[in-house]
């Protein structure tokens, strides 16, 4: 008989803190954002979050800047494969 550990079958949901921001965006970009959100059937805030994280992750000069700027403090973000992608915010946020 296999010994079972006391671990749940489904891992607990990751707790992700959200903060609301307000900003102005030009109309053509907003229309593309709305269209892309519809295209992937996701909330606009999710598209913005993922696009920014893609930008941050792919810009090697920015990574160097962050590392030099934050040697004593760390900026942490959940990796894409483990980030909580539940619908916790509202379309258009």
- The beta strand positions in the chain, using DSSP E, are none
Write down the pTM of the prediction: 0.61
Q: What is the CA radius of gyration of the chain?
A: 18
Q: Stretch 13-17: mean pLDDT, rounded?
A: 85
Rounded to an integer, what distance in angstroms lies between the CA atom of residue 57 and that of residue 79? 10
Per-residue model confidence (pLDDT) at position 11: 84
Q: How many CB atoms lie within 10 A of CB 85?
A: 14
User: Tens of pLDDT along 19-75?
Assistant: 999 999 999 999 999 999 999 999 999 999 999 999 999 999 999 999 998 875 555
Rounded to an integer, what distance in angstroms lies between the CA atom of residue 34 and that of residue 53? 18
């Amino acid at each position: 008989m296999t010994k079972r550990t006391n671990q749940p079958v489904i891992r607990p949901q990751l707790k992700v803190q959200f903060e609301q921001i307000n900003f102005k965006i030009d109309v053509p970009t907003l229309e593309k954002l709305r269209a892309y959100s519809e295209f992937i059937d996701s909330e606009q805030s999710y598209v913005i979050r993922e696009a920014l994280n893609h930008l941050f992750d792919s810009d090697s000069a920015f990574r160097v800047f962050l590392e030099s700027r934050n040697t004593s403090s760390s900026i942490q973000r959940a990796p894409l494969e483990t980030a909580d992608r539940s619908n916790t915010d509202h379309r258009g946020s």
